[in-house]
Amino acid sequence: MNLKEEVRFLEANGIRYALRHFTAMGAHANAPRRTVLLLHGFLDCGATWDLVAPHLVSAGFDVFAPDFRGFGDSGRIPAGGYYYFADYIADVAALTTSLGAEDLSVVGHSMGGGVASLFAGTFPDRVQKLALLEGLGPMNDPPELAVQRMRRWMADVARIDRAPRPLSSQEEAVTRLAATHPRIDRATLESRAAKLTRRDSQGQLVWAYDPLHRTTSPTPFNTAAYRSFLQAITAPTLFVGGGPTGWHPPDEEARLADIKDARRVDLPDAGHMMHWTAPAELAAALLDHFG
């Protein structure tokens, strides 16, 4: 089976969304296929699911990977606005409505896992299977830090330049990725850097995300409120951990226990960016979960 990859653009809540579609070409292209939505993490984009998607397509799935608003090729919010989790959930709702998928599985990595779990808790009847890849929300913010967080956000927004800072070369992009992900081999980082950068209107190489994402969010993360969404999830849920070098909040097991029908699989050497480092093993775990 040959793989077809294309980018389409859809309107979702006033934002022009880039939606990458991985599907089959040839004799099996028109056969009934279940839909998988892949949601990326912070400072990532839909294009970096390209190592996982072929395994899912070969197994008979129609695969979509959007760029969240302000990431990749999706639109940015206008001046005076900001990026909130509620916006992402509303966007996913609009996108899935546009797709019209009757049998929908949702996979979310890191920040995308937080969005996926909030979406599945808000709309439990719309998600048949859920997979969270080290995506059970960020650390809890104690209430007493709320004022400090708001002050920091105000300072960040006052000084932020919405024009992306140019990179000198693709090599600089790889070097900066390596500083953030020191355990990932350089060849993988080179292929990821090519998807996480783009040329701006002046032809300069820049990161493909709105610099506003680099500011501190003014909204504290409330674990108790988040766990109420986990408790509302009805879809069978797979949690995939990346082993000891992954990202794990201290109450990870308690959060996972809130989901009624959940099981855990660990890829012990994958680390947090498991869709980059262990795509075949990750895809096998997902396919086992999807059935």
**Do 287 and 55 meet the contact criterion of CB atoms below 8 Å apart?**
yes
Its pTM stands at: 0.96
Using alpha carbons only, what angle is made at residue 86 by residues 266 and 64, rounded to the nearest 5 degrees?
55
Q: Kindly report the CATH class assigned to 2-140+221-290.
A: alpha beta
Domain ranges of the chain: 2-140+221-290
pLDDT by position in tens, the chain (length 291): 678 899 999 999 999 999 999 988 764 555 557 999 999 999 999 999 999 999 999 999 999 999 999 999 999 999 999 999 999 999 999 999 999 988 999 999 999 999 999 999 999 999 999 999 999 999 999 999 999 999 999 999 999 999 889 999 999 999 999 999 999 999 999 999 999 999 999 999 999 999 999 999 999 999 999 999 999 999 999 999 999 999 999 999 999 999 999 999 999 999 999 999 999 999 999 999 999
CA distance 111 to 134: 9
* HEC sequence for 174-228: HHHHHHHCCCCCHHHHHHHHHHHEEECCCCCEEECECHHHHCCCCCCCCHHHHHH
Measured between its terminal Cα atoms, the distance across the chain in Å is 20
